[in-house]
Structure 1
Amino acid sequence: MNRQAQIAHHNSGLDVITMLTNLNLKPSTESIIIYLSAVLFSVIGTLLIPGKWVPGAPLKDNSRVYYKTNGLLVVLVGSLIYGALCYTNFQFAGQAIYTLICNSFGELLTVSLVFSILLTTLLYLRGLFIIPEKERNFLYPKWNIPMNFWCGVELNPHFFGFEIKEFSYRPAFLMMSVLNLSYAFEQYRLYGALSTNLVTFQAISFFYTIDAFVFEYGLIYMFDIIEENFGFMLVFGDYLWMPFVFTLQNLYLVNDFNVNHTQTFVNIAIFIVGYIIFRGANNQKFVYRQDPKQVWLGLIEPKTLETARDRKLLISGFWGVARKINYLGDILIAIAQSLPCLQCGYLLPWLYPIYLTALLFHRAMRDNERCKEKYGKFWDEYCKKVKWVMIPGVY
């Protein structure tokens, strides 16, 4: 048998239709155990591994939610344990654990969907019948069940003493690491080597994961955490979209040994530029929120525009270049994660950057409307000072 055929359907014309019809989507007992193990480890790790408790952004009632920032250790320890299992060729259901996971991609996808639906249902019923009335945050009339299920009823649901919305990034990133490690070990098993494109993709993905938790305080100030209820939209994003869409590239790269050094160089350069923009802009804003007088990196004075609502709009550094400059960085990082699949010739590995670009452009338009209503003439003045929305010189 051809070695490539040992991994069903990988790198064999995986357009959307082929993927949905050829991947085995019926969950097995093993796929359920694997997925729930990642979630359970994240819960236990969050409870037992030491971490600093930090306050989140002020809510509308001026209260603050406290978050345990031990996500880096939770994901690293989980990844190291799984990596050790792969290295020792741990057998599960008669085959190496990493081979089993590679061949169970479709099954795990289904398990994550069912888990997302069940968790959202639990959160929805909890919001209706368990939590106090004052903690309910209906965005739609109570009778509008579909939209309240989609958007959620509660802003900051708590389980086991910690806030579950921010926590959910941990099983998402841990499952990403598990999938990435599985495909790396499987490629090495098949070919005795790792391809340049797979290493490039996984190095960027690993760096992205570690960075997210090194700057975990930044997650706490994200729009999703501060403003969005925890409904199916976010649950699906954390428990299915992130771990499986962010790792789709592996399915195309596991058998790919094409080498294009120019492409790899450009790939890494795009990632570095995107990361500098994304992390620099977010860090500058975080530092400003912590101390409005602090000079960022000792170089950039925090220049602001006064408004009538006792709020100031930052107009220096990254935030003097474009109003949503961090979105540009995020999109470039997403592009860099899909570029290793450039020679594969299929659209599906580009699902993440395509989706993210559409999402962020739409979010930028919504945010502009919201800020226009919120700040009035001051927003017009701000837009004159910071002309570009996201891409300097273009948009």
Structure 2
Amino acid sequence: MEHLKQHFNCFSQARGLRAQYLPPGTYLFTRFGIFNPTVVYDHLGEIFSALIFGSFIFCIFLYIKGHVAPSSTDSGSSGNLIIDFYWGMELYPRIGKNFDIKVFTNCRFGLMSWAVLAVTYCIKQYEVNGKVSDSMLVNTTLMLVYVTKFFWWEAGYWNTMDIAHDRAGFYICWGCLVWVPSVYTSPGMYLVNHPVNLGTQLAVYILVAGILCIYINYDCDRQRQEFRRTNGKCKVWGKAPSKIEATYTTTSGETKTSLLLTSGWWGLSRHFHYVPEILAAFFWTVPALFNHFLPYFYVVFLTILLVDRAKRDDDRCRSKYGGKMSAYDNVVSGKLKLKGKALDVKAGGIKKKKKHKKQHQDFQSTQNDLSSASGGSKEVSVDPNEEDINDADKSSGEGKASHYDDHLTPAERRYIEQREQLDVHRLAKQANKSHRDRIQDFNQYLANMSEHYDIPKVGPG
């Protein structure tokens, strides 16, 4: 694993950023008549058809390779042919010593084709209309900024779900070889024949907003990457980061500890980095305005993809860290509530909030009723925040009241009488509770005894 990581970092630094020379090189080839990239646009149907078929054959090859010649021990079969084909057999498949298949499909082909096609669509619009619209310029610029950000941060991509957890199968490889160049670039493809004139002011606003979202997305990933690199010994927004130490057990039985960052961007919400990523996609799509749904298919797809990824990541972390994830949920607010509404449980899992205001209102209502029944006396007030006493204390108190009855003042007698009437009223109220209300109270009691929200619940019977 460590060898693969060092290989990936070296590979990304040596070739990842150099890949960004390809889009401007495409423009220069056009400028000097060496090569006309618009021929790519003219044959998109044939190109995408070949990619669909060829990538399917490639996924079959990966399935067979995973069974016959896996590259590492991070491989295996689920016993289901369809699942193995779709999710993949190997986590880090390689051909030879230096060709990493996932690095090629995800980074070299997928992201580079995204950048090249973005520039190609821009050049094609110039060829068709004699000029490039400001909407196309905003779209192309934001896409190139995003892809450049990716290659700059490519070493951190190693720790994402795509590389570290999702195996190389149809889901990842076919998606990067076919879905990325066809769907991810679709807003620019639409603008080729549907140019929109935004005006300088609106175009600048959209461009700045998109770049800001891309930067926030980058800073989120950089913040977590630096936190992991320094083992939590770094500054996050100028302060020492807050964190949770979560232990887990590996498949070999070894106990390890992970640090979960709970400050900075990662203290705002669970999976906050997905928010600016979706917004960035929206901002390089919105130059097409709202005349057709087609450009926004990518934004809708990306939102569904990232919500599903967030859920899978939550499930994986809960399985890996157990109860520590409940502590993480209590620290980091705004998480995706994927399991329904949580019960009212505090961080400690023991105490529940006391609704003082409601208790005070109930007490005042009861007090008024008792005062009316006793002739409107309002001289004595009882603390509404005082805890209920148990039956033993009440019987003891009643005995003492009658025993010392001769020594009590009239005000003390009225206080004891009203207190007894309040106890009677409380017991009557409990006796009138329905079976469903009692079950709900019991479920809340069980929830307060545990730090987990997904404990089994007692049915209404």
Cα gap change, 1:315 to 1:236, in 2 (>3 Å): same
Q: Which residue of 1 aligns with 2:95?
A: 159
Report the secondary structure of 2:244's partner residue. strand
Cα contact 2:71–2:92 (8 A) shared by 1: no
Q: Which residue of 1 aligns with 2:53?
A: 114
Equivalent residue letter for 1:109:
F
Q: Which residue of 2 aligns with 1:210?
A: 148
Cα contact 1:166–1:220 (8 A) shared by 2: no
Equivalent residue letter for 1:362:
D
Please list the CA deviations of residues 286-306 of structure 1 after superposition, one character each: whole Å capped at 9, or x if unmatched: 001110243246713221123
Give the CA deviation at 1:180. Answer: 2.0
Q: Which residue of 1 aligns with 2:23?
A: 79
Q: Which residue of 2 aligns with 1:148?
A: 84
Q: Which residue of 2 aligns with 1:233?
A: 171
Cα contact 1:371–1:379 (8 A) shared by 2: yes
The match for 2:298 among 346, 349, 352 is 352
Equivalent residue letter for 2:124:
E
Q: Which residue of 2 aligns with 1:103?
A: 42
Cα contact 1:166–1:219 (8 A) shared by 2: no
Cα contact 1:282–1:326 (8 A) shared by 2: yes
Q: Which residue of 2 aligns with 1:364?
A: 310
Cα distance in structure 2, aligned partners of 1:249 and 1:298: 35
Cα distance in structure 2, aligned partners of 1:75 and 1:236: 21
Report the secondary structure of 1:292's partner residue. coil
Residue 242 (1) aligns with residue 180 (2): yes
Q: How does 1:1-395 map to 2 (within 5 A)?
A: 66-67=8-9, 68-69=11-12, 70-90=14-34, 97-131=36-70, 134-138=73-77, 140-141=78-79, 144-160=80-96, 161-168=98-105, 169-255=107-193, 256-261=195-200, 263-296=202-235, 299-309=238-248, 310-343=257-290, 345-389=291-335
Report the secondary structure of 1:199's partner residue. helix
Give the CA deviation at 1:150. Answer: 0.9
Cα gap change, 1:286 to 1:150, in 2 (>3 Å): same
Cα contact 2:269–2:332 (8 A) shared by 1: yes
Cα distance in structure 1, aligned partners of 2:31 and 2:128: 15
Give the CA deviation at 1:281. Answer: 1.1
Cα gap change, 1:99 to 1:280, in 2 (>3 Å): closer
Cα distance in structure 2, aligned partners of 1:114 and 1:387: 45
Give the CA deviation at 1:154. Answer: 0.8
Cα contact 2:242–2:261 (8 A) shared by 1: yes
Equivalent residue letter for 1:322:
S
Cα gap change, 1:264 to 1:315, in 2 (>3 Å): same
Cα contact 1:293–1:302 (8 A) shared by 2: yes
Equivalent residue letter for 2:179:
W
Please list the CA deviations of residues 230-278 of structure 1 after superposition, one character each: whole Å capped at 9, or x if unmatched: 0011112211111121211123212414224454244224323422331
Cα gap change, 1:181 to 1:312, in 2 (>3 Å): closer
Cα distance in structure 2, aligned partners of 1:166 and 1:245: 20
Report the secondary structure of 1:313's partner residue. strand
Give the CA deviation at 1:315. Answer: 0.7
Equivalent residue letter for 1:163:
D
RMSD: 2.5
Percent identity reads 25
Give the CA deviation at 1:217. Answer: 0.8
Please list the CA deviations of residues 326-385 of structure 1 after superposition, one character each: whole Å capped at 9, or x if unmatched: 111211111112111114x11111122111111111222232233233333322121111
Cα contact 1:120–1:149 (8 A) shared by 2: yes
Cα gap change, 1:214 to 1:293, in 2 (>3 Å): same
Please, what TM-score do these two structures have when normalized by structure 2?
0.65
Cα gap change, 1:108 to 1:315, in 2 (>3 Å): same
Please, what TM-score do these two structures have when normalized by structure 1?
0.75
Cα distance in structure 1, aligned partners of 2:297 and 2:207: 19
Cα contact 1:137–1:229 (8 A) shared by 2: no
Give the CA deviation at 1:195. Answer: 0.6
Report the secondary structure of 2:37's partner residue. helix
**Structure with the larger RCO, 1 or 2 (CA within 8 Å, 6+ apart):** 1
Cα distance in structure 2, aligned partners of 1:375 and 1:293: 18
Cα contact 1:300–1:317 (8 A) shared by 2: no
Cα contact 1:277–1:328 (8 A) shared by 2: no
Cα distance in structure 1, aligned partners of 2:245 and 2:299: 35
Cα gap change, 1:298 to 1:317, in 2 (>3 Å): closer
Q: Considering only CA atoms, is the larger Rg found in Structure 1 or Structure 2?
A: 2
Q: Which residue of 1 aligns with 2:448?
A: none
Cα gap change, 1:272 to 1:356, in 2 (>3 Å): same
Cα gap change, 1:340 to 1:370, in 2 (>3 Å): same
Cα distance in structure 2, aligned partners of 1:132 and 1:334: 35
Report the secondary structure of 2:260's partner residue. strand
Equivalent residue letter for 1:212:
F
What stretches of structure 1 of length at least 5 have no aligned partner?
1-53, 58-63, 92-96
Q: How many residues align?
A: 324
What stretches of structure 2 of length at least 5 have no aligned partner?
249-256, 342-461
Give the CA deviation at 1:135. Answer: 4.8
